[in-house]
Amino acid sequence: MDISKEDVKHVAKLARLEFSQEEIEDFTQKFASVIEYVEKLKEVDVEGIEPTYHVHPIKNVMREDKVGKSMDRDKVLSNAPDKETGFFKIPNVLD
């Protein structure tokens, strides 16, 4: 599969990135080498090999959910730059 400069421009547009002509040429080569490597991986015989999702065996360590002593609300809010009705007040992220 060949990667064209137009492919790189399209991906950049989707990612809302702007590249110079030099960067577009550089990424075209880099993307092409990634695709080439993936194509090589398709040639590997993996019949009978279990998928590896993580290199280390992982299990979720859960603890019992217990009610404990909380910090004093006034003490917690004492250094807050802005607070309202007993809560931290933060600026709107979305308008």
Q: What is the pLDDT of residues 30-44, one digit of tens each?
A: 999 999 999 998 899
| Residue 94 pLDDT > 80 | no
With a pLDDT cut of 90, the percent of the chain lying above it is 63
pLDDT band at 8 (very low <50, low <70, confident <90, very high): very high
| Residue 91 pLDDT > 90 | no
Question: The tokens of 79 are what?
Answer: 């250094």
Average pLDDT, integer, range 47-59: 84
Q: Determine the pLDDT at residue 63.
A: 87
Query: CATH fold of 5-43, please?
Result: Histone, subunit A (1.10.20)
Residue 55: HSE in the Cβ half-sphere, 13 Å Cα cutoff: 0
Q: Determine the pLDDT at residue 95.
A: 63
Q: How do the domains of the chain map onto residue ranges? A: 5-43
| Helix, strand and coil percent figures for the chain, each rounded to 5 | 40, 5, 55
Query: Could you tell me the pTM of the whole model?
Result: 0.48
Q: Determine the pLDDT at residue 33.
A: 94
